Amino acid sequence: MLKRRLIPKLQMRASRFGSSTRMVLVTTVQFDEVMEIGDPVSQAKIYEAQAADELIFLDLDASVENRGTVVDIVRQAAEQIFMPFTVGGGVRSVAHFRKLLSNGADKVSVNTAAIENPDLINEASAVFGAQCVVLSVDYRQGANGPYHVWIKGGRIKTDLDPVAWAIDGERRGAGEILLTSIDRDGTRQGLDLELTRRVADSVSIPVITSGGCGLASHFVDGFLVGKADAVSAGTYFCFKDENPMQTRSQIKNAGIPIRLHT
Amino acid sequence: MIGIVDYGMGNLLSVYHALEMVGADVKMCRQPEALSDVERIVLPGVGAFRDCMTNLRQRGFAAALEESVLHQGKPIFGICLGMQIMARRSFEGGEHGGLGWFNADVVRLQPNKSSLRVPHVGWNEVTYCQDSPFFAGLPPAPDFYFVHSYYMTCDDESDIDATCDYGGTVTAAVRKNQLFATQFHPEKSQDYGLQVLENFLKWHP
């Protein structure tokens, strides 16, 4: 039986050390309050040792100047960890896809660029296969109002509805949808189960949901109520004495098929 | 020496590092001639079947692989699309001929439960033949990492070395003479995957 997946998210930002720039691991709250907490590759190795199912690396700055630094991280990760990982942040072209994939990434996520140029999804999917293309959708809900997709790292609101955009993304050839609730990011108050479920019910490709995990039960809810195929979390694994192994056991106890690696 | 067939598609670095990790002396083979001085071959693959076959033919690898594997008997390990390409044909995006080393077709996954999504992405339990040298040292029903939308259906059941369940039985590994191949990614399956790769290094078909 196919297992549900637990995916630590490694958010990165360029930080200057003297005259050089390198990527550091950070956490955010509602895409803000950025806090440096470590090194992405060493943290990835820890997650591998704890038998995480996959990893997601996101470059929050997503600037052109950082491009080479991100590729370095991808190369190092591919040398040191033997598990699947997705890389995203500032990916704007098929050439970027190729660069990241050829340096060891298994999948590439697109967000802002896919909204500005939706054909990017079609093109990347045709060249590399749907399984390499993850459509990342950041969204907010107004006070009990409708949901909207936000781009540019949560700074700009669009008119798009996240469910409609996910459906369009699948039709264009995305292989997975990565949902992130900006409202819940870093708050540890639980996932947005309603939106997760609406998307999961509307597409036939796997859905990864994220934003808000603070308890093991939030993961359980994401699988059972949200019907997600995978749950991703950043803050949860960074700031608590929790790791993928312990969380996995609690998910297993709730009757959800998940890999128990002993 | 193990040669990885590099025909310009996909992520070969992970396979390279994983083989190094289990102690192999690895070489990237960008030209078909490079296959002549390796003892074992790994054929990875990501992307579409037709492009893969076109690349293998245009770069002269199809003929070189036939010589090295079928005539000289060098063991080969196909991964994912590298497995599918060993079939006689695939129905991915039309009908396209493959290497034809297995009496098998490659068809789209059609899980019999609507809740199961395609592509099949993630860790799935594998049931393997007890006498398979590739799964030696692993517990029963180990999990491996899969990412695919098409899979191989074999005419000869005896070619099937492992299966998994995804709304029906899906071929997870095939083995025949000096040919071995997996639909899952050993290079992405953590320690179990590394064990399978290590078993390939020790394999004497």
B72 CB-near residues (< 8 Å, 6+ apart): none
Query: Position of tokens 């293998």?
Result: B56
Model confidence pLDDT, tens digit, residues A65-82: 677 788 999 999 999 999
Q: State the average pLDDT over residues B192-203.
A: 97
Instruction: Give me chain A's average pLDDT, please.
Output: 92
Each residue's pLDDT tens digit, A198-220 = 999 999 999 999 999 999 999 99
Helix (H, G, I), strand (E, B) or coil at B45: coil
Q: Inter-chain contact B123–A78, Cβ cutoff 8 Å?
A: no
Q: Residue A94: its chain B contacts at CB < 8 A?
A: none
Distance from CA of A33 to the nearest CA of B (A): 33
pLDDT of residue B75: 98
Q: Say if CB B132 and CB B175 are below 8 A apart.
A: yes
Burial of B68 (0-12, 13-18, 19+ CB in 10 A): buried
Q: Please answer yes or no on whether B121 and A132 come within 8 Å at the CB atom.
A: no
Q: Per-residue pLDDT averaged across A249-259, rounded?
A: 93
In this model, does residue B8 exceed pLDDT 80?
no
Asked if A206 has any chain B CB less than 8 Å from its own CB, the reply is yes
A176 contacts A134 by C-beta, under 8 angstroms? yes
pLDDT tens for A109-138 read 999 999 999 999 999 998 888 889 999 999
Q: Rounded CA gap, A260 and A251, in Å?
A: 10
**B47, A79: Cβ pair inside 8 Å?**
no
pLDDT of residue A39: 92
A106 vs B11: CB contact, 8 Å cut-off? yes
In 3-state terms chain B splits into helix, strand, coil percentages (rounded to 5) of 30, 35, 35
Choose among B10, B121, B149: nearest Cβ to A176.
Answer: B121
**Catalytic: which of A138, A183, A221, A229?**
A138
CATH of region A5-253: 3.20.20.70
A133, A174 Cβ separation under 8 angstroms: yes
How far, in Å, CA of A226 to CA of A31, rounded? Answer: 22
Cα–Cα distance for residue pair B182/B33, rounded to 1 Å = 25
Q: What are B99's two structure tokens? A: 């290497």
Kindly indicate the confidence band of residue A33, based on its pLDDT and cuts at 50, 70 and 90: confident
Determine the residue of chain A that is closest to B8 in CA distance.
Answer: A102
Extended beta strands in B102-156, E state: 102-108, 120-128, 143-148, 150-154
DSSP code string of A52-83: -S-EEEEESS--GGGHHHHHHHHHHHHHH--S
| Annotated active-site residue in B80, B92, B120, B164 | B80
Confidence class of residue B191 from pLDDT cuts 50, 70 and 90? very high
User: In this predicted structure, what is the pLDDT of residue A262?
Assistant: 56
Lowest mean pLDDT among A176-180, A238-242, B30-34: A238-242
Quick: pLDDT tens for B91-140.
998 999 999 999 999 999 999 988 888 889 999 999 999 999 999 999 99
Domain boundaries, chain B: 2-202
| Structure tokens that stand for A119 in this block | 């054909």
**Span A223-231, average pLDDT:** 97
- Distance between CA A228 and CA A200 in Å, rounded? 6
Query: Would you say B149 and B117 are in contact if contact means Cβ atoms under 8 Å apart?
Result: no
Interface contact flag, B46 A129, Cβ < 8 Å: yes
B117 reaches A (C-beta below 8 A): yes
Phi-psi map region of A19: left, alpha, beta (phi>0 left; psi -120 to 50 alpha) = alpha
- Domain covering B2-202, topology: Rossmann fold (3.40.50)
ipTM: 0.87
- Cβ atoms of A15 and A24 within 8 Å: the answer is yes
CB contact under 8 A, B190 and A261: yes
Residue with tokens 């080969």: B76
Element (H, E) at A118: none
* Alpha carbons B68 and B74: distance in angstroms, whole number: 6
* Distance (Å, whole) CA B146 – CA A81: 17
Q: Is the pLDDT of residue B46 over 90?
A: no
β-sheet bridge partners, residue A109 = A88, A134
Token pair belonging to A225: 């109520």
B17 is catalytic: no
- Residue B7 pLDDT greater than 90, yes or no: no
